[in-house]
Amino acid sequence: MIHYELTEELAGRLDLERQEAASLFNGFCGAMVAELLAFRKLSIKGLGSFSVTHIPATKRSSGSAMIFAPPLNKLRFDTTLSSGDETISLAVSRLSMSQSEAARFARTLATLFTAALQQEKEMMLNGLGRFALEDGAYSFFPDRTLEELLNREYQDLKEVVLPQHKELKRENALPGYVLPLSAVILVGLLLAVLYGRFSSNTFFPSTAESSKSVVTTVNRSGIVTSSPSARQIELPGGVADSLVLVQGDYALVLATFESEKKALNELAPLRSSGINAFLWPAYMDGMKYFRLMTGRFASRDAAAEQLKGMPAKMVSGAYIQQVKKTVVVHGEKGL
């Protein structure tokens, strides 16, 4: 089912012009992408479940060399629903539909999606990926740009290959020393990310190869509910000048910068608008990074709930970070 055919059917079932139906469908695809970037999981009736899986940094030996691979976030698809259908909530919150309009839209989409998957038709979801039959298997292929966004934290980390022998020719002594030293620094960055201590710039995605997730048998499961312990830790009224983050807490990181000046320039308008935002430094091998954060939460669920209710423009590129060590963070004063 190519994009034109799908929007034609959607228009007919919803009594819309084809162009209007195409705009509505593309808007819903964008809503799914925004939901995945913010919460890393999504369930849509008729399609299945999308989730982001984190693959830690790894090292392996290949005989004469040791290969260090950076961590990776991969988008996976499964025809089994991991939670309740989120179509209606997305249509209401992100497409400004009424409850009745959203319910009708959800029923129609579920019917079209189910038919497309059962008949193994080609289907394009702009910004999210495509379903297609290739090499005898009907599969989901994530959008390349989306995978780049999911891996923006690791944009500067590349695979590192370290020779395991020490035989160096005299005439190549200087290059032989410089290259391993650079590689060792990169390995240090990889290991730091492995233990959650490294955070890179969140605004410029790198190029990443698309991955493939094979469609599997549908097996509907029950609805997953939020933990009762999901709550935000109460903060003092007004814009505080400092905040104590206790080990085990969760916080929302809005952006990460290598320059303190740039971070402060971005921090000022947030605080002037009444948002309790703070500068949260991070260190790695003598290098200092500056994170803009807000909120202090007792659980990841509470942080996710807060993130979901924030303006889309503010949380573009934001993520949830657990506090590894108790620290006092500051606003503009006291820096």
Could you give the count of Cα atoms lying within 13 Å of 92 in the half-sphere of its Cβ? 10
Asked whether residue 142 falls in the same domain as residue 250, the answer is no
Residue 275 banded pLDDT, cuts 50, 70, 90 = confident
What is the predicted pLDDT for the residue at 25?
Answer: 94
Q: How confident is the model at residue 213 (pLDDT cuts 50, 70, 90)?
A: very low
Cα separation, 281 vs 14, in Å, equals 51
Question: What pLDDT sits at residue 1?
Answer: 53
* Gap between the Cα atoms of 68 and 45, Å rounded: 40
User: Burial letters for 114-147: b for 16+ Cβ neighbours within 10 Å, e otherwise?
Assistant: eebbeeebbbbbbbbbbbbeeeeeebbbbbeebb
Handedness of CA 134, 143, 320, 285 (dihedral sign): positive
Report long-range pairs for 10-14 (Cβ below 8 Å, ≥24 apart).
10/108, 10/109, 10/112, 13/108, 13/111, 13/112, 14/104, 14/105, 14/108
Which of the listed ranges 33-42, 64-73, 190-199 does the model predict with the highest average pLDDT?
33-42
In the predicted model, what is the mean pLDDT of residues 11-36?
A: 93
CA distances to 21, 168, 179, 236, 251 from 248, rounded to whole Å, are 46, 47, 39, 20, 10
pLDDT at 172: 47
User: Looking at per-residue confidence, does 253 or 3 come out higher?
Assistant: 253
Same domain, 24 and 110: yes
Q: Are residues 33 and 129 in the same domain?
A: yes
Same domain flag for 102 and 251: no
**CATH code: domain of residue 273:** 3.30.70.1070
**Given this model, what pLDDT does residue 162 score?**
82
Q: Alpha-carbon distance 41 to 76, whole Å?
A: 9
Of the listed ranges 139-143, 205-209, 292-296, 324-328, the one predicted with least confidence: 205-209
Are residues 255 and 139 part of one domain? no
Close Cβ partners of 225 (under 8 Å, ≥ 6 residues apart): none
Whether 21 and 118 share a structural domain: yes
The residue segments making up the domain with residue 285 are 242-330
Whether residues 33 and 136 share a domain: the answer is yes
**Predicted local confidence at residue 42, as pLDDT:** 95
In the prediction, which pLDDT does 268 show?
Answer: 83
Do 138 and 19 share a structural domain? yes
Q: How many domains does the chain have?
A: 2
pLDDT in tens, 103-139: 999 999 999 999 999 999 999 999 999 999 998 899 9
| Residue 330 amino acid letter | H
Residue with tokens 């005299």: 170
Residues 25 and 69 both lie in one domain: yes
**Would you say residue 265 lies in a domain?**
yes
Amino acid at residue number 209: E
Model confidence at 179: pLDDT above 70:
no
Look at residue 198 and tell me if it is in a domain: no
pLDDT band at 189 (very low <50, low <70, confident <90, very high): low
Same domain? 144 vs 7: yes
Q: Is residue 231 part of a domain?
A: no
Residue 128 in domain: yes
Residues 20, 134: one domain?
yes
* 146 compared with 232, residue with greater pLDDT: 146
Helix (H) or strand (E) holding 296: strand 287-297
Question: Is residue 79 within 8 Å of residue 217, measured between CB atoms?
Answer: yes
Dihedral angle at the C-alpha atoms of 63, 69, 75, 79, nearest 10 degrees? 30
Q: What is the pLDDT of residue 204?
A: 33
Which residues are within 8 A (CB) of 11 and not within 5 positions of it... i.e. 6 or more apart?
A: 17, 18, 20, 21, 22
Q: Check residue 20 and give its pLDDT.
A: 93
**Residue 26 domain-assigned (yes or no):** yes
Residue 207 has pLDDT above 70, yes or no: no
Say whether both 139 and 15 belong to one domain: yes
In this prediction, residue 109 carries a pLDDT of 96
pLDDT range class, residue 2, cuts 50, 70, 90: low
pLDDT band of 29, cuts 50, 70, 90: very high
In a domain, 259, yes or no: yes
In a domain, 39, yes or no: yes
Least confident range from 38-52, 72-86, 266-280: namely: 266-280
Q: Which domain CATH number covers 210?
A: 4.10.520.10
Determine if residue 255 is left, alpha or beta; phi over 0 gives left, psi from -120 to 50 gives alpha, anything else beta.
Answer: beta
Compute the mean pLDDT over every residue in the chain, rounded to the nearest whole number.
Answer: 77
Within a domain: 120: yes
